[in-house]
Amino acid sequence: MNKHKLLYFLSFAILVATGCSKKFMEDMKSYDKYGETIFTNETQTGWYLDRMYYDFFYAYKSPTQTLVGVYNGDRSGMTEEIGGIGDWINPQKTLINASDASDYYGAPPSTGITNNSYSRIRNLNFLIDKINTVGAQSLSQSFRNTTRGQALVMRAMQYFDLMRVYGGVPIVTTVQNADAYDESIKLPRATPEEVVNQIVADLDTAANLLPARWDQVANANSWGRLSSVAALALKSRVLLTFASPLFNPDWDNAGNSRWQKALAAGLAAETAAKTAGYGLYGSTAKEWGQMTYANDNAFNPEAIIVQLLSSSNASSGINSNGWERSIRLTSQTGSGGVSVPLEMIDAFPMADGSRPVKGVNYATDTFFMKRDPRFYRTFAFSGCKWGTKESPDAVVWIYRWKYGAATSAVTYSDNNNTMSPVVVRKMSNPNASTSTGLAFSGTDIFEYRYAELLLNIAECYAATGDINSAVSYLEQIRKRVGIPAANHYGIGTLASRHAAIEACLYERRIELAYEGKRFWDLHRWMLYSDDASTGNTCTALGVTPLNGTKRTGKYWQYKTVTGGAASADPLASARTGISIDPDASTFQDQLVKLRTFYKDNLVLTDTDVPMDKDASSQPLTILFRPHYYISGLNASVLSNNTWLQQTKGWLDYSGVPGTFEYRK
């Protein structure tokens, strides 16, 4: 597929330029402006399906974003990955009213037809129905199968995100028209189990309708479309979530059927994926770092679900990746970088795969020494080679120096003012161009990687008590990036199923860092706190609850105060010749040289204001309240759907406590 046209599909970009297709796309904004005759030929049906992809994924421009349709980074900001206190983790706020609840459910049709959860479901239902009724008269069976299959996967994805946010929601699988007097459409909130059963049914059907891998020879524009492997892998993710403590009070029972079903789904997806040629991309840490921009416009074995993006700077009809610009430093014409909290820096394994232990095998002020190979592909720090198309050998520097007693009397190296000595570089493309300010990145986003599927299987094995099998899957993840094989690739001997589960969650935290997955792991394992309502999973797994912790920033600061005015960089000459490149034969020598540079010149100091703070810059710690795991329904939803129950722990639009119990 040519990404210089538009995300996902060349045909969509070409067609929107025509009057007919443009009118068609506009008509889709209103339910009464198009009819079933659009499914009488493949071209118009293709337009309709492509518009569904557009509505689902157009907003997906950063790997830290979540929730189909809206794609925002709010939830990544509730984890150790990114600092900054939002409403849902603010200890100074309590969200309990319906007006505070998530609005992801969508607005009522009376406010106008917008791209929201249930409007997307309605449009998919229309397609799923008509493709096999009206379409059966004129469309080939193969075309109808693949079109319907893709729609079913999207419907499953939408219901899964609704379930993760609200627990149980009404299940609508036919086209309904808003009618205050039609009692048949007043559907109650389904239980999570009923929602999961519907999702699984859709994914099973889709898996039988779709190819495991689209034929790019027969259809050059097919890369990026949903496949049967995607359907099976999503089933694994859904059933793993349903088996997890958030939805499963019996999670600590190794024989619980939900874990068995999730394991079976994962293994089935793995078999199908392998048969179709999917697998871990590459066999080195270097290739691990290259996977999102390698194989551009062609099949990549790691990418089970991928968001295709364009590097074109055309004025319209283009969707680019905003991640590159956001993570690049000011000196690279970026937005300033994503500062990495100290807690995330300290979390990564050592080079031998062992956990870092301060004072034993690790020190924060030499954080860059002897780390997991993925560390150097996930993060950048002072002295790192981090090139661009125009400057492939550029080295970045992140420190500051004081030139007077005043708090504001500081200057930052190369104008790189960050709140951490480390910034994110994962999923960055060294061929990104600074000539356009990095505004048009074509680096694809892997929404679902093969590595995640392996981690799903490992976790299920751990939960069922098969520790050896769990470790064998974790070993595959570590072997690929070059961690030595000794002591099970640094994993060690795990003494219990709880230790094995924790090892799986730890590996997910490292392997999938900054890919929008960490919040959902914290969420489904209820790792913000321990109390009677959450099942004390933190204690069981031996992890520190996130509540009460903070994301910590630090500066590298020059040890000496310079003259009385902002002056030239006092370390400009001292840093000459340093270039930390994990691919270079001198990599280890350069690390030692950098350690000496830091020791001689810099000291880690606190940031001027905390990463996690209130409006007056006073420090705050994270507080995610237990009833936040499952949001209440928003006031507008409840006022227009008076038969729906509000979630327990939340008040409805009249201030009455909710009664809907999601955890059964």
In contact, 649 and 94? CB cutoff 8 Å: no
Specify the length of the chain in residues: 664
Helix axes 450-463, 467-480, angle to 10 degrees: 160
User: What DSSP element (H or E) covers 579?
Assistant: none
In contact, 525 and 472? CB cutoff 8 Å: no
In order of 341, 403, 532, 592, 598, the CA distances from 559 in angstroms are 22, 11, 49, 20, 10
pTM of structure:
0.94
Sequence-distant (≥ 6) Cβ neighbours of residue 537 within 8 angstroms:
245, 251, 525, 526, 527, 530
Q: Which two tokens stand for residue 520?
A: 């959902």
Write down the pLDDT at residue 7.
37
Q: Where are the beta strands (DSSP E) in 421-473?
A: 422-424, 445-449
Domain boundaries of the chain, sorted by first residue: 323-441+554-606
Q: Which two tokens stand for residue 209?
A: 């309708």
Mean pLDDT by 10 residues, the chain (664 residues): 37 35 49 75 95 96 97 97 98 97 85 86 96 93 97 98 98 86 88 98 98 82 93 98 97 97 98 98 98 88 94 72 95 97 98 98 97 98 97 97 90 96 97 88 94 98 98 98 98 97 98 98 97 86 98 96 86 96 97 97 96 97 97 95 96 96 87
What's the CA gap between 463 and 250, in Å, rounded? 11
Write down the pLDDT at residue 31.
47
Q: Facing residues of 657 across strands?
A: 651
Write down the pLDDT at residue 12.
36
Write down the pLDDT at residue 34.
65
